[in-house]
């Protein structure tokens, strides 16, 4: 199916289902993904062997210059973004200067649009890294992925390319003491002939238990909305079902946002 890559360091602003008017920042190559996940639903396509791809990352100075130029242009046009979002072609926290780049973006945000939020969309695999953790605590929206409370589902759903223990992941997410937003993508379908459904009662009950343990400031619930590398083998979860799941989270006193 027609997945896509972001071809610049700065992209947008674009209208985000979850974040509003979002100015995106891609810290990864423009011609391929770099990610330690290979999610079956990723809008950027499959993660290929990095040995065969362009691994050059934009350096800190390039990111600063691109963001400074874009924010100045938006300021001149009186077009304020709601949020400056680190996402792009893979996992943004893998950039070796991620922490310093976050400091730069906070400085530039304060200069041009002090009311704009800074958000990071991450798969949460690097949050045990002290510098990454410190940077994520500084941002306004620390948005971390948890698609299931079962290792077996994570392996099928997200296909991690690094060892991932859900038990350890939940422990690390809990250590943010609420300064974290959990994002979960629900879907059904098949992958390599195997059924996948993270909306079953067993899945939902285990996931809710994990959410209660983590006690995030917010949970973002969504489903696929664009083409995926698996194509027609994956199915959207109806909005009503997503809202039913959200109601269970809200009953625990946790703010919840749903995107169908």
Which domains are present in the chain?
Answer: 10-259 (3.20.20.70)
CB 137 within 8 A of CB 51: no
Q: What is the pLDDT of residue 62?
A: 96
C-alpha distances (whole Å) from 150 to each of 99, 123, 244 are 30, 15, 21
Residue pLDDT, tens place only, 144-158: 999 999 999 999 999
Q: 47-50: long-range contacts (C-beta < 8 A, 24 or more apart)?
A: 47/90, 47/161
Q: What is the pLDDT of residue 51?
A: 43
C-alpha distances (whole Å) from 54 to each of 30, 51, 101 are 9, 8, 21
Q: What is the pLDDT of residue 86?
A: 96
Q: What is the pLDDT of residue 4?
A: 54
The Cα–Cα gap between 72 and 105 comes to: 13
Cβ-proximal residues to 168 (8 Å cutoff; 6+ apart), any chain? none
Residue carrying the six token digits 């953790």: 133
Structure token digits, residue 42: 């990723």
Residues in the chain where the model's pLDDT stays below 50: 1-2, 51-53
Q: What is the pLDDT of residue 241?
A: 96
The Cα–Cα gap between 154 and 140 comes to: 27
Q: What is the pLDDT of residue 53?
A: 47
């Amino acid at each position: 199916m027609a997945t896509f890559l972001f071809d610049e360091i700065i992209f947008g602003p674009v209208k985000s289902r979850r974040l509003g008017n979002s100015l995106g920042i891609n810290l990864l190559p423009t011609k391929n993904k770099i990610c330690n996940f290979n999610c079956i639903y990723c809008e950027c396509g499959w993660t290929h062997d990095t040995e065969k791809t362009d691994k050059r990352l934009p350096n800190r100075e390039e990111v600063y210059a691109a963001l400074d130029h874009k924010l100045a242009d938006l300021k001149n046009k009186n077009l304020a973004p709601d949020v400056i979002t680190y996402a792009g072609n893979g996992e943004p926290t893998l950039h070796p200067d991620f922490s310093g780049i976050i400091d730069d973006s906070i400085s530039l945000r304060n200069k041009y649009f002090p009311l704009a939020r800074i958000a990071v969309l991450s798969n949460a695999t690097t949050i045990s890294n002290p510098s990454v953790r410190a940077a994520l605590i500084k941002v306004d929206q620390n948005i971390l992925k948890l698609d299931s409370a079962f290792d077996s589902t994570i392996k099928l759903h997200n296909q991690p390319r690094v060892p991932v223990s859900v038990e350890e992941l939940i422990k690390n997410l809990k250590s943010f003491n609420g300064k974290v937003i959990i994002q979960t993508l629900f879907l059904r379908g098949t992958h390599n002939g195997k059924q996948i459904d993270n909306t079953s009662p067993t899945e939902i009950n285990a996931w809710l238990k994990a959410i209660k343990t983590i006690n995030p400031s917010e949970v973002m619930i969504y489903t696929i909305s664009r083409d995926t590398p698996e194509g027609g083998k994956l199915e959207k979860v109806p909005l009503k079902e997503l809202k039913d799941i959200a109601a269970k989270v809200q009953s625990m006193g946790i703010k919840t946002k749903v995107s169908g």
